[in-house]
Amino acid sequence: MPIKKGPTLRLVRSAPRRKRVAIHQLSGLILSRTRFGGVVHHGDLTFDDRVVRLKKHQNSIDDYIIPGFIDLQVNGACGIDVMSATAGELLELAHCLAHEGTTGWLPTVITSPLETIERIDAVIAEAMAVQAETDRVAQNGSASLPGATILGMHLEGPFISPERRGVHPPLNLLPLGDALDRVSRLKTLKLITLAPELDGAIEAIRVLTARGVVVSIGHSDATYEQTLAAIEAGARMFTHLFNAMPPLHHRAPGVVGAALSTSTARAAVIPDGVHLHPALLNTPNLNPVVTSDRVALASTDGAPRPLFGGLIQEARTENGAARLPDGTLAGSVITMLDGLHLTATRLVSNGWSLNGVLLEYGEMAAFGPAGILGLTDRGRIESGWRADLILLDRDLNLKAVFVGGRELD
């Protein structure tokens, strides 16, 4: 989606106190969660690479300023597949995502041979190193091309249930011994989806959590009790809740029932209207965060192409999602901004104010994901926090995106 440039951005001369990216000022309606609750007010937002000051005042500018989206599950987009991409292509994908309002993301790898996962880990590490150097150079005032920050790998498998593998290949492993050791040594691993009913899973959750990896429950046939045991061991998320798991049953609540009865682990949901009925997005006690679960078909013409590094030979965009020739869901094709539009349409029709929707979606798509990853420098619009920002007009069209205070072209 092209960014619509607006007249509300002013460039202010850089302050002499430090050498960083130029200081900017945006005016509009600022919406964000902070330590003190929701912030909704007209005012000016001054920032360089971080937010410097929020100043309240009444003005006639109707633009919305919200935190940049953080997407925890991106298999690909814009014709680029994470599992077959070079480091340069991952950086191209990061630039594409940023132009859609996403300012941080996790390249996602599905169940594969361990050698494949290790190869992709090295590629992601290379791309992250290039981004880090680019950011360092930018802090010294040099021009650079910003893209959505690669925050690490989301490994969706190989420790998943054979009965709930979806489009994953039948290469499932138990989280034990050499397999667990090799996975836990991955350089970029930040989030892993696993099935807690597998032999060794509960201890694996403890091991991975102790090493700083976030564990998410998904592609699972676990009972309610097994799921709660996983949460007690340290699991903090559910991957695309309701998908690749048994439906809720009143006598066997399973994974879904556990997600609805805990506040410790958050449910990642895909707000495309296909993976999840819109009516369920605001289910009481769901405590959701949103992800796109995008694949390489997203932001393309939808023509058939292989996915997941060729593990899927052919998929196409059909009926609002990526599908195999037999109609099986293979992922999403929405952007995080599309998710906002769909969510706003649903909630406003149910009596929500648009300001309330933007606050709620910002929590689900920015602050919530940052919290899951343990990030304390982004996801909010607050003094001292990273200036990952989105400017929207009153129709929620994208007008500008800032990644670390640098505006996209």
Per-residue pLDDT tens for 156-215?
Answer: 999 999 999 999 999 999 999 999 999 999 999 999 999 999 999 999 999 999 999 999
Catalytic residues, by residue number, are 293
User: What mean pLDDT comes out for the span 221-246?
Assistant: 97
User: What mean pLDDT comes out for the span 53-72?
Assistant: 88
pLDDT value for 181: 98
Has residue 81 got a pLDDT over 60? yes
User: What mean pLDDT comes out for the span 131-157?
Assistant: 82
End-to-end CA distance of the chain: 13
Per-residue pLDDT tens for 11-20?
Answer: 333 333 444 5
Provide CATH code, domain 1-67+379-409.
Answer: 2.30.40.10
Has residue 39 got a pLDDT over 90? no
State the Cα–Cα distance between residues 83 and 266, nearest whole angstrom: 26
pLDDT value for 7: 39
Per-residue pLDDT tens for 94-114?
Answer: 999 999 999 999 999 999 999
pLDDT value for 374: 97
User: What mean pLDDT comes out for the span 228-233?
Assistant: 98
pLDDT value for 198: 98
pLDDT value for 199: 98
pLDDT value for 9: 42
Write down the domain spans for the chain: 1-67+379-409, 69-341
Residues 69-341, CATH architecture: Alpha-Beta Barrel (3.20)
What global pTM score does this model have? Answer: 0.93
User: What mean pLDDT comes out for the span 44-62?
Assistant: 85
State the Cα–Cα distance between residues 304 and 386, nearest whole angstrom: 39
pLDDT value for 35: 60
pLDDT value for 22: 78
- Residue 21 confidence class, pLDDT cut points 50, 70, 90: low
Per-residue pLDDT tens for 251-284?
Answer: 999 999 999 999 899 999 999 999 998 888 878 7
User: What mean pLDDT comes out for the span 222-231?
Assistant: 98
Q: Which residues contact 170 (CB under 8 A, 6 or more apart)?
A: 162
Secondary structure, 3-state, the chain: CCCCCCCCEEEECCCCCCCCCCEEEEEEEEEEEECCEEEEEEEEEEECCEEEEEEECCCCCCCEEEECEEEEEECEECCEEHHHCCHHHHHHHHHHHHCCCEEEEEEEEECCCHHHHHHHHHHHHHHHHHHHHHHHHHHCCCCCCCCCEECCEEEECCCCCHHHCCCCCCCCCCCCHHHHHHHHCCCCEEEEEECCCCCCHHHHHHHHHHCCCEEEECCCCCCHHHHHHHHHHCCCEECCCCCCCCCCCCCCCHHHHHHHCCCCCEEEECCCCCCCCHHHCCCCCCCEEECCCECCCCCCCCCCEEEHHHCEEEEEEECCEEECCCCCEEEECCCHHHHHHHHHHHHHHCCCCHHHHHHHHHHHHHHHHHHHCCCCCCCCCCCCCECCEEEECCCCCEEEEEECCEECC
User: What mean pLDDT comes out for the span 296-300?
Assistant: 95
Has residue 8 got a pLDDT over 70? no
CA angle 295/297/298 to nearest 5° reads: 75
pLDDT value for 284: 77
